[in-house]
Amino acid sequence: MAKKIVNTEPQEVEREALTAGQEQFCQLYVCGGVQFAGQLTKCYKEVFGGDYRDVNLDARRLVREPLVMARIKELSAVMTGETESIAIKMQISETLRSVLEETANGNFSDRFGNRLSPAPLRAVAVNAAKALMELYPVKHAHETKLKIEGADNGVVFNVIVPHKPNDDGDPDPE
């Protein structure tokens, strides 16, 4: 009985690289914004030049090349993922803003007309504000901490106030 010999070592497959022009074409075609994205002929003219009659045909041939086609698909997948991520982030921030607006200053009462304590709602507003700050972080080089005590319900807020540096680069000592 003959044994079958199998090579278990991984084989290196050399992958051809795109030329600089092909890469630029792919980038323009997928990420070129309103001016270039999805417009074969316009992208081809921008990268390779040409005012000749067959530029449309050359652009179509370029897109049909396997490496170019693969790169366009790869860039499209990245763009789709980024777009979805941005859309989700915008939806979340809009929801958080509406929760913050509704709960920050709302006066609510139970079904019998008794006024409810605003503390739980304020906590919801603070948590919504924290979540927004995590989505859109704000960083300042110079900050001053400020404590604000409210007369209503004994609520205390700690606020960080940024200071604009002087011409010297030192923060304003106000």
Any domain includes 164: yes
Per residue in 2-11, pLDDT tens?
555 544 444 4
Average pLDDT of the residues of the chain: 75
Any domain includes 161: yes
Whose CA is closest to 30, among 21, 40, 20, 15? Answer: 40
Any domain includes 155: yes
Any domain includes 113: no
Q: What residue numbers bound the domain in which 145 lies?
A: 140-174
Any domain includes 171: yes
Q: Report, as an integer, the average pLDDT of 68-80.
A: 89
Rounded distance, CA 136 to CA 162, Å? 16
Q: Report, as an integer, the average pLDDT of 161-171.
A: 61
Any domain includes 165: yes
Secondary structure E strands in 101-141: none
| Domain count of the fold of the chain | 1
Q: What token pair was written down for 78? A: 């990245």
Any domain includes 162: yes
